[in-house]
Amino acid sequence: MALRRIRRLLAAFITLCALAGASHAQFSSRPVRILVPNPPGGATDTVARVIAPRLGELLGQPVVVENKPGSNGNLAIEMTAKAPADGLTLLLGADAQIVIGPHLYRDLGVDTLKDLAPVASLVNTQMVLAVNPTLPVKTLPEFVEYARLATRSPGMSKRVSCARSPSRASSARRRFRTCRALPSSIPGSR
């Protein structure tokens, strides 16, 4: 009886090894694609191009970075979510594109919280509020007070350029309401 059980376990193990080998052969026969939802040259593109060679070494196969900008990242997100579940299509995008996007757009075509699975957090970034050095402000409270006065004074600007992505722009709009400034983007500032 023990011999029969050992034979069954051995047969199951050999079957699993054969299946794993076939699966590995299929996986490694095609390149891994990292979809970047932004144009070339940006932060996510840079990170993708830095990790792609090392990931390729670890996997033993080519890793290709594909920039798929459009619709604030929604194009690449949808392509990733609708790709076959074979591990060959990865998305390297900002968390805001995945988390905030569904609140900004009525129909993304996918449910980012159900159709995508986070694998790793790669980079933490910081954003800064910068002004021309001749502006008489050194802190955020000083800037807010300056902006409040600017909305009341003739001849002073009532617009601030605050963000180039819709998710960051909506966040900035909420913040600038307190000083009655009108956020705006500069065309072509991508």
Question: How is the beta sheet containing 63-67 ordered, strand by strand?
Answer: 63-67, 32-36, 89-91
The distance in angstroms from the start CA to the end CA of the chain is 72
Sequence spans of domains, the chain: 31-115, 126-190
* Angle at the Cα of 85 from the Cα atoms of 35 and 21, rounded to 5 degrees: 110
Tens of pLDDT, residues 88-118? 999 999 888 888 888 888 888 898 889 999 8
- List, in sequence order, every beta strand (DSSP E) within 70-112: 89-91
Tens of pLDDT, residues 9-42? 434 444 444 444 545 545 567 899 999 999 999 8
Tens of pLDDT, residues 113-167? 899 998 888 888 777 888 889 999 999 899 888 888 876 766 655 555 554 555 5
CATH architecture of structural domain 31-115: 3-Layer(aba) Sandwich (3.40)
Residue matched to tokens 């979510």: 81
Rounded percentage of the chain residues whose pLDDT exceeds 70:
65
Are 76 and 93 in contact by the 8 Å Cβ rule? The answer is yes
Residue 188, pLDDT > 50, answer no
Are 14 and 37 in contact by the 8 Å Cβ rule? The answer is no
> What's the full length of the chain, in residues?
190
